Amino acid sequence: MGYLDVPGARLHFQAEGSGPTLLLIAGAGGDGDVFRMVSRHLAERYTVVRYDRRGFSRSDLDGPPENGDRLAADADDARRLIEHLGNGPATLFGSSSGAIVALTVLAGHPEVAAAVVAHEPPLMRQLTGGEQWLEFFASVYDRYREDGPDVAMARFRSRTFPGSDATFMAHAPKNPKNVAYWFEHELRQYPAADLELAALGAHADRIVPAAGRDSGDHPCRAATASLAARLGRPMIDLPGGHVGFVSAPDAFAGELTAALDRSGAGPAHPGGDARPGGSPGSMHAGDWNDSYAGTPHWDLGRPQPAMQELADRGEIRGRVLDVGCGTGEHVLMCAALGLDSTGVDIAPAALHAARQKAEHRGLSARFLLGDAQHLAELGDTYDTVLDVGLFHIFGDEDRASYVRSLRDVVAPGGRYLMLCFSDREPGSGGPRRVSADEIATTFADGWRIEALAPTVLTNPAGPAGIHGWRLIAVRS
């Protein structure tokens, strides 16, 4: 437990656990203790820091609230706290108004934010018809002034959250000071925030939009989905509704940690000591990201000729997704042909390089952070899915999971075009060798193999080619 003096306030914070810093930013009520239960689980992997936002609970103000600049002050508080902790850039988890604060930190102080999980930010300006919600919040404030906080809060909860959340919130401990402060300085102001999407878009690969899977069509989930679409990011579902971290803390922590691992924003080595340069199948999200600190040994810097040939023959068509796209050469190859092209990769550094290439070449393409084994989270389907050098990194169990994931994004009748290492390649270094029989068996159910033939992969490390397979499989 500690205190940090910041301009205009004194922040109260608590830390537990060890590892990378995970800063938890509370929403309405502003009290960090709302995360007490979930922190215990997250502290197994992170140094978890929770704090009271200025003006709430134990974080007293030195003067009057900032009002018009209060969101900026909240973001500056988070920045100062991260710098005070001295453990490098932090992962920020913000819920509700706290998510708006976390996004504001990323937009204005990206050097302190390794990643931001934005859990149900009530950004009503992101919604069609959002002005009606802002008018509703204004009417709730009027009710507060006329009839008191209990009546106003009941009206607010009944319209804004699913029944399970509303019931849970109604029975939660109340802090009259926090309630009054929230009504006066946050209820109307934060949902009306108009964040600069251009500033956020520059760091979109660090943003993990998240919503409660029980939140249905309620406004905070809808606003999160709209924000995710505008940023080109998949939205993840977490247990419970708007306050799932309180109602289901164990499950919530587990799924949040898994989502951070898939995003590349989790601890670099959560399950052991695998390193870049080791077995690709044992590498974790952080390891893949670290590989792009320089040019990884598999990065050719141009499309593989065996895939370029398929493009030249017109075999790549419709909407295209490249899974494990790396620095984007095959996505940009398709974009140059005028195709609607998207790449997905687990390494934010690779996606950053891909976006820079697209801008330099004047090409339009999307690059999304995601896990090949959870492609359903992209929320879309494609006519052609490319895989250049990903299939062969998986062991048997993970390979089966990967192919199930592919079925979520390959449209019926769509095609999967793949290049991988062949068992004809001598030696044992590099990825696992794959036989034609293994490929045929893997795609025996739910797919029709249109072509499976030997090919040669260009080796970035030397003039000798690599024996490989080229597969065209049609989803039945």
The 3 state secondary structure assigned to 382-402 is EEEEEEECCHHHCCHHHHHHH
Q: Give the span between the Cα atoms of 394 and 383, in whole angstroms.
A: 24
Q: Where are the alpha helices (DSSP H) in 321-443?
A: 329-336, 348-361, 396-409, 436-442
Residue 270: helix, strand or coil by DSSP? coil
Provide the pLDDT for residue 281.
45
Q: Give the span between the Cα atoms of 438 and 436, in whole angstroms.
A: 5
Provide the pLDDT for residue 267.
54
Q: How would you write the pLDDT of the chain (476 residues) with one tens digit per residue?
A: 799 999 999 999 999 998 899 999 999 889 999 999 999 999 988 999 999 999 999 999 988 776 568 999 999 999 999 999 988 899 999 999 999 999 999 999 999 999 999 999 999 998 888 899 999 999 999 999 999 999 999 999 889 988 877 677 766 667 899 999 999 999 999 999 988 888 888 888 899 999 999 998 899 999 999 998 888 888 999 999 999 999 899 999 999 988 887 765 555 433 332 223 333 444 555 557 667 777 777 888 999 999 999 999 999 999 999 999 999 999 999 999 999 999 999 888 889 889 999 999 999 999 998 889 999 989 999 999 999 999 998 888 889 999 999 999 999 999 999 999 999 988 766 678 999 999 999 999 999 999 999 999 998 766 678 999 999 999 99
Q: Where are the alpha helices (DSSP H) in 109-148?
A: 130-147
Using DSSP bridges, classify how beta strands 47-51 and 410-421 pair: parallel, antiparallel or unpaired.
unpaired
* Residues whose CB falls within 8 Å of the CB of residue 301, separated by 6 or more in sequence, listed in order: 295, 329, 460
Q: Give the span between the Cα atoms of 270 and 98, in whole angstroms.
A: 27
Provide the pLDDT for residue 265.
57
Provide the pLDDT for residue 172.
67
| Torsion angles phi and psi, residue 348, rounded to 5 | -55, -35
Which pTM does this prediction carry? Answer: 0.61
* Residues whose CB falls within 8 Å of the CB of residue 464, separated by 6 or more in sequence, listed in order: none
362, amino acid identity: G
* Residues whose CB falls within 8 Å of the CB of residue 336, separated by 6 or more in sequence, listed in order: 361, 363
